[in-house]
Amino acid sequence: MTDILSQDEIDQLLSAISSGDAQQEDFSATQAEQKKVKIYDFKRPDKFSKDQIRTVQMMHETFARLTTTALSAKLRAMVSVHVQSVDQLTYEEFIRSIPNPTTLSLINMDPLKGSAILEVDPSITFTIIDRLFGGAGEHAKLTRELTDIEMSVVEGIIVHILGNLREAWSTVIDLRPRLGTIETNPQFAQIVPPNEMVMLITLETKIGESEGMMNLCIPYITIEPIIQKLSAQYWFSSIRRGESEVNRTMIQSRLDNVQVQISVEIGTVSLGFKDIMNLKVGNIIKMPKTTVREEFTFKVEERAKFKCRPGRIGSRLAVQIGEPVIDIPDELLIGNRSEEEG
């Protein structure tokens, strides 16, 4: 990309060309030296690299999607949450940027040390409260503190949201965020010194016609132990490593709730087609003679799985599971029969 020269640089270049003293190498060297100078504010030292900020943004885009789904189901309304920006600033700048009163949730970031803050704009807070209390969730510009009942309702919503935060961070750390207290005055939420650097994730939130912001403030000292893991390369590799385990766990949890039909085959008897057609209610079919010591076949969905023995537990009939039945596929049986006939 071609750099744009300032007016002073253009004047110097024209005067040097007219005098014959200009050399392209000298100008390029001078320009390269100027590019080495970088402005740095020692009052606001950058703690997070661009790669780390980008990774945190991708993680919280997942958090935003999960929160959108959770709030939509909870409020039964159209909810939209997405990441607007991820910035690094001092804690004092964050406190000054939020309204008073507001909803400030102090979150314990176990196993990480320290706390984070989830700030919810009052317009969003009162829209949620109105919706849960049976209202239409209309936009209400209220600037008062929450009542005890309203505080209890908000606590339930925050706890619900924190579950999504844990899932979004699962590729980096097994985070177990817990709600501590809820404050309405930002001056009462001093979790770090004013000059401490924090990462601010701003989430634009829309519920029906109401719009507002949710801000997640995480101090640098809280995530410093895992700062090396906040890289795109580590994040993507963690996702690939976790895919098989996540899929295995998901499949196992679904299989645990599957209902199957089981039966016990106590014997077989051969009947002619005419006898089967003449069967009526109350007819008796004589089965082969069996004893208690004989093993029956235990079937799962009409497929033999175990040998079993009959018995009784209290007043109920029961069977005791024995050795598994070797299930030979029909293809192998057909193949063996063909070889024998050949």
For residue 262, how many other CB atoms are within 10 A of its CB? 12
Q: Are the beta carbons of 102 and 171 closer than 8 angstroms? A: no
Residue 245 has a pLDDT of 57
Domains of the chain listed by start with CATH number: 50-241 (3.40.1550.10), 260-267+291-327 (no CATH)
User: Going by C-beta distance under 8 Å and a sequence separation of 6 or more, which residues neighbour residue 87?
Assistant: 53, 199, 200, 202
Q: What is the pLDDT, as a whole number, of residue 209? A: 84
Give me the phi and psi of 340, to 5 degrees please: -65, -40
The pLDDT of residue 155 is 92
Q: Which parts of the chain have pLDDT scores under 50?
A: 1-2, 332-334, 337-340, 342
pLDDT tens readout for residues 238-266 = 655 555 555 666 667 767 777 888 888 87
The pLDDT tens digits for 14-41 are: 776 666 655 555 555 555 555 566 666 6
Residue 266: its pLDDT value, please? 77
Whole-number Å distance between alpha carbons of 199 and 114? 14
| Bridge pairing between strands 262-265 and 296-300 | antiparallel
> Which CB contacts under 8 angstroms, 24+ apart, belong to 318-327?
319/264, 322/295, 325/297, 327/303
Max Cα–Cα distance, the chain, nearest Å: 123
Could you give the CA distance from residue 9 to residue 206 in angstroms, rounded to a whole number?
49
How much is the CA Rg of the chain, to the nearest whole Å?
A: 35
Q: Looking at residue 1, what is its pLDDT? A: 45
Predicted pLDDT at 215: 94
